[in-house]
Structure 1
């Protein structure tokens, strides 16, 4: 007898839930909406909207930019990187010289971010270690200019951009040796002090 009452109670409860879910959204209380209901409403609202412009879409939905490789100077890796990463998010690892204290390293990284912003290069800075930070650029073309700025700074040890290490002009010999041992697959580029390709900020 007890089993029969339990069965009747459970079946009536299930019928009530299914009847509640079948109610049209207009008749239901907003507080009772599930995530699926809200997603369904959102899709219905956006159905009749005009399509967004490509630059208003999220980055993963944007159509890729067309690159004319015949007009591209393939001998200049910075130029190739600028053109291929234009409009795409790029992250760069920046390490300061290990001789700096934690306070000096934090103030240097903060100053560099301000210098970039003063030069209209938008970068978000995320510290990941006491002497290392990630700089995220919403436009990858700006990352090349930022890299050229970083490697000319006295406090910069090295920069990693798109899997390639760039050693700062004032980096110590031990840093160069350490990077060459750490990165057997990538390329370590030592920037010449007389090279004038960097961006003055």
Structure 2
């Protein structure tokens, strides 16, 4: 058995439609699975051959609306979780940049660039 959690707050109809598309995608890749919608944002897939569940996991975590896949009591983040984390990290970067720019104005008297009398050092690397 494999459990998939969808991103956002999908309705039961959206979950049924999306999991049906995933089931067809799995079937087209010769992975026979039966799906059961167990909650509005959660689907269970049952496989006739348990070893195919790992291939199905790889397929499902690459889907945009997949938040996470649970297989053998282990949770694997889906593409939906990665995009969610990416937006959070962008917000954190902008916050840290604004903090840095605020702290630069406070320390404007400190030396951050080398004096013009010293040449800039360039490091060469041979390949």
Range class of TM-score, shorter chain = 0.5 to 0.7
Question: What's the counterpart of residue 109 of structure 1?
Answer: 19
For residue 134 of structure 1, the aligned residue among 30, 35, 44 is: 44
1:123 and 1:106 map into 2 onto residues whose CA distance is 15
**RMSD value over aligned CA atoms?**
1.3
Question: What's the counterpart of residue 148 of structure 1?
Answer: 58
2:45 and 2:53 map into 1 onto residues whose CA distance is 9
2:65 and 2:11 map into 1 onto residues whose CA distance is 11
Question: What's the counterpart of residue 95 of structure 1?
Answer: 5
- What's the TM-score, normalizing by structure 2? 0.61
**Structure with the bigger percentage of strand:** 2
- What's the TM-score, normalizing by structure 1? 0.39
> Greater CA radius of gyration, 1 or 2?
1
Secondary structure of the structure 2 residue equivalent to 1:139: coil
Q: How many Å apart are 1:169 and its aligned residue? A: 2.1
**Structure with the bigger percentage of helix:** 1
Q: How many Å apart are 1:98 and its aligned residue? A: 2.3
Secondary structure of the structure 2 residue equivalent to 1:140: coil
1:121 and 1:95 map into 2 onto residues whose CA distance is 20
1:141 and 1:157 map into 2 onto residues whose CA distance is 22
Q: How many pairs does the alignment contain?
A: 83
Show structure 2 runs of 5+ residues with no match.
86-127
Secondary structure of the structure 2 residue equivalent to 1:128: strand
- Aligned ranges for residues 38-53 of structure 1 at < 5 Å? none
Show structure 1 runs of 5+ residues with no match.
1-90, 174-201
Q: How many Å apart are 1:103 and its aligned residue? A: 2.4
For residue 169 of structure 1, the aligned residue among 79, 99, 102 is: 79
1:170 and 1:125 map into 2 onto residues whose CA distance is 20
1:125 and 1:169 map into 2 onto residues whose CA distance is 20
